[in-house]
Amino acid sequence: MEKQPNITPEMIEENLLRIEQLAAENQKLLEENARFFNTIEDQSTIINDQNTTIDGQNTTIDGQNATIADLKFQVAQFQRMIFGSKRERFVSDVHPSQLTIPFDFGDKKVEAVIEADKQQISYERTKPSKPHPGRFQIPSHVPVEKILVEPTEDVSGMEKIGVKITSELEYIPRSFKRIDYIRDVYITKEDETGTQRQVIAP
């Protein structure tokens, strides 16, 4: 039977210290692995952003190439318009020594033929009336200030039948704002003759 080694408290303490050291080293390795994975994720995000930027730049380059091709085509057209007339000159194929047949009918005969071909044409043109474009529309992004305007007349006992909004564009240095004047519309009760009257602020 083998003899069991003597285990002393010093050995137990030494083993406990070793276990703590190994645990600390393991924890440090875990933290380094976590930092490594975080670095990989950050780099992946950077790579994705760079790929997106590259795609946008490629799209811009394609648009610019199309613009360049269009401009080249326009320049070629302009060059043909400017310089084409200098190269394309009319050259008569009539030989200088060839005789020509005179067609002299006299001025009076020619004028008589022209007068006979003339016709009297007259018409009346009606200029179409353009529709009025209407009032200028204030842009929707202008800040709005609402001002409630009540009639000067006593409206107690009257029935409110509507609202009228009059918009004005007011200039403030370096900015604009729209002012909406909100005017309630009232109507009086029927009098002895059965008539009613509409009341609104000026």
pLDDT digits (tens, 9 = 90+) for 83-111: 765 545 455 555 566 666 655 555 666 67
Residue 130: predicted pLDDT: 66
Tell me how far apart the alpha carbons of residues 138 and 14 are, in angstroms, rounded to a whole number: 86
Residue type at position 80: R
Question: If you average pLDDT over residues 168-173, what whole number do you get?
Answer: 77
User: Does residue 121 lie within any of the structural domains?
Assistant: no
Which residue, of 62, 82, 102, is where some domain finishes? 82
Cβ of 158: how many Cβ atoms within 10 Å?
19
Q: What's the pLDDT at 56?
A: 86
Res 81 pLDDT > 60: yes
How many domains does the structure of the chain reveal?
Answer: 2
Task: Give the bridge partners for 41, in sequence order.
Answer: none
pLDDT tens, 7-41? 777 888 888 888 888 888 888 888 888 888 888 88
> Residue 166 belongs to what domain range?
144-200
Give the integer Cα–Cα distance in Å for 169 and 137: 10
Residues 164, 199 contacting (CB under 8 angstroms): no
Among 54, 82, 110, where does a domain finish?
82
Backbone conformation region of residue 145, classed left if phi is above 0, alpha if psi is from -120 to 50, else beta: beta
Q: What confidence score (pLDDT) does residue 3 get?
A: 56
2 located within any domain? no
pTM: predicted TM-score of the whole model, two decimal places:
0.27
Q: How far is CA 32 from the centre of its chain?
A: 50
- Please give the pLDDT value at position 136: 67
Residue 119 lies in a domain: no
Q: Rounded to an integer, what distance in angstroms lies between the CA atom of residue 138 and that of residue 118?
A: 57
Round to whole Å and give the CA distance between 183 and 155. Answer: 13
Q: pLDDT value at position 70? A: 85
Determine which helix (DSSP H) or strand (DSSP E) holds 176, and give its type and residue range: strand 175-187
**Within a domain: residue 95?**
no
Q: Cα–Cα distance between 183 and 152 in angstroms, integer? A: 11
